Amino acid sequence: MKQVKAYIAREKDGTYSIFVDDKAPINYGLVGEGNTVEEAIAEWTRVYEEMKQSYADDNIPFVEAEFSFVYDVASFLAYYGGLLSFKGLAKLTGVSAAQLSQYATGYRNPSPKTTAKIQEGLHSLAKDLSQIALV
């Protein structure tokens, strides 16, 4: 089974789409769309299963894949913006709230170094949260 990155993007109309790049090691194309990330992933999964069945029906070899869903910074900030404030993310990542706002709106794009900084801050938070035990 091939491991493939599927990119989640927030479109200008506020919907989400999922796609793979043309270098993915699969022999078919997929797209998932929805008003939310959950809807887009559900559509993606449905299309994948239909494609798999269609290939089987036509006796065409099908490259099975396991997809990991990844976000660009703007799409991540737009999707999780209701849960994480830019002020809070600024404290967590060291990237200013103003910059984060510009990334979320697409006014600016973060450099690879800034993207890594944001990701490291989020991973650090996730690690801390995973160790919490409530009583």
pLDDT at 33: 96
- CATH number, residue 21: 3.30.2390
What is the distance between the terminal CA atoms of the chain, rounded to a whole angstrom? Answer: 41
Are residues 8 and 66 both part of a single domain?
yes
> Which of the listed residues 71, 94, 117 is the one where a domain comes to its end?
71
pLDDT tens figures, 27-62: 988 999 999 999 999 999 999 999 999 999 999 999
DSSP string, 86-112: HHHHHHHHSS-HHHHHHHHHTSS---H
Res 99 pLDDT > 90 = yes
The answer to whether residue 135 is domain-embedded is no
> Which of the listed residues 71, 95, 120 is the one where a domain comes to its end?
71
